[in-house]
Amino acid sequence: MARSLAAVVLALLLCSAPLHAQSPGEIAFWESVRDSRNADELRAYLKQYPNGTYKVLAETRLAALERAAASAKSATPPPVAPAKPAARNVVAATAPTNPQPAVGDLWTYRLSYPRLRGAWGQAERPAAMYTVRVGAVSGTEITEQLAIDGGTPSDFRHGKGWYLAAEGVSVLSPYLAVFEAMASGGRVGAVQILDAACSKGYACEAKARNAGKEIVLVPAGRFEAFKIVVEQQWSPFSVVSTAGSAGADMTGGRTLTAWYSPQAKRVVKYSSRLVAGAIPPMESNFDLELVSYELK
């Protein structure tokens, strides 16, 4: 009888859930986690929208997942430790783990476009869910599939080196901390630009510096990450054809900051801001923040 009553209550909650959330960003977020069995993803929704339209439904599902996890834990007998563990097993348990991701690893980000002070007439743009899954891994290359708002996935390949590339938005090497030594801060130097936008009427250059370790907070949690700051500049190829105000607007730059977490095995946040010019060759104002991740 109690189980039937719980089913009726859940059905009423599902039927009473509104067809429209308060914003397109909340709709996209909720649709990405509504059927999830990952409690952290529901917690991320509640943290992002503490008074959201789907708050009650999210809390109900989260409570059910937590009860199921507690029941499974209590039903599992504790492991029996060996009386005299071999020394090699102790060494293996304390050795550092390989930071390289595995096939099937999944990261979900929130891609948002902040409205900046002084940007008159800037239209409101809804946030998007940005999902990356590893398809193949080798010692020198990682292949992944990117899907935005549940769309058709696109393949991207990433390897060693410091480079800017277009993957939905223009970002710095997503697996930089996997392939490069990140122990100390300081100037890095020139960054290779693979973004095709910089070959269509613009000359671009970029330089990076390692700002060392920093604690960063994102919807997925709190991470100790390596902070990399990239300063990118651009100007039009043809000075004659872009003379006057058009040429001035096409000359500019942005600052792109990336935070890499060995724990998450990938970047956990990007933040890009336009610092000069009015006609950039690529999207220059955006935030990409980790909402949840699953490692194999």
Q: What angle (nearest 5°) sits at the alpha carbon of residue 122, between those of residues 118 and 123?
A: 155
At 7 the pLDDT is: 54
pLDDT at 131: 96
Q: pLDDT > 70: what percent of the chain?
A: 76
Q: Between vectors from CA 115 to CA 227 and to CA 44, what angle results, nearest 5°?
A: 60
**What does the pLDDT look like over 78-87, one tens digit per residue?**
555 444 444 3
- Split at pLDDT 50, 70, 90, the class of 285 is very high
Q: For all residues of the chain together, what is the average pLDDT?
A: 79
Distance from CA of residue 105 to its chain's centroid?
13
pLDDT at 6: 53
Q: Report the helix count and the strand count for the chain, using DSSP H and E.
A: 7, 13
Given CATH 2.40.360, say whether it is the number of domain 106-294. yes
Domain boundaries, the chain: 2-74, 106-294
- Residues near 157 by Cβ (< 8 Å), separated by ≥ 6? 141, 142, 143, 144
- Of the spans 193-202, 230-239, 257-266, which averages the highest pLDDT? 257-266
Q: First vs last Cα of the chain: how many Å apart? A: 39
Q: Where are the alpha helices (DSSP H) in 101-231?
A: 176-179
How confident is the model at residue 18, as a pLDDT? 47
**How many other C-beta atoms lie within 10 A of the C-beta of residue 211?**
14
- Report whether pLDDT(2) > 90: no
Residue 272: strand pairing partners: 256, 286
State residue 266's pLDDT score.
95
pLDDT beyond 50 at 15: no
pLDDT in tens, 53-68: 878 887 888 788 787 7
Orientation of helix 55-75 relative to helix 2-16, angle to 10°: 150
Q: What is the pLDDT of residues 173-183, one digit of tens each?
A: 999 888 887 76
Question: pLDDT per residue over 206-233, tens digit each?
Answer: 999 999 999 999 999 999 999 999 999 9
- pLDDT tens, position by position, 113-162: 987 655 555 667 899 999 999 999 988 899 999 999 989 999 999 988 89
Q: Above 50 in pLDDT, residue 106?
A: yes
pLDDT of 229 reads 95
Which of 10-14, 30-34, 242-246 has the highest mean predicted lDDT (pLDDT)?
30-34
Determine the average pLDDT of the residues in 11-25. 54
Top-confidence range, 67-76, 94-103, 119-128 = 119-128
CB atoms within 10 A of CB 45: 27
Residue 176, by phi and psi: left (phi above 0), alpha (psi -120 to 50) or beta?
alpha
Averaged pLDDT, 91-111: 71
Across residues 162-173, what is the average pLDDT?
93
Residue 159, SS3 per DSSP: strand
At residue 91, the pLDDT reads: 30
Task: List the Cα angle 116/235/180 in 5-degree steps.
Answer: 80
Tokens of 290: 């980790």
pLDDT > 70? residue 75: no
pLDDT of residue 72: 65
28 pLDDT band, cuts 50/70/90, is confident
Compute the 3-state secondary structure of the chain and give helix, strand, coil in percent, each to the nearest 5.
25, 35, 35
110 neighbors 99 (Cβ within 8 angstroms): no
227 and 255 Cβ atoms separated by less than 8 Å: no
Q: From residue 57, how far is each of 15, 62, 63 by CA, in Å?
A: 10, 9, 10
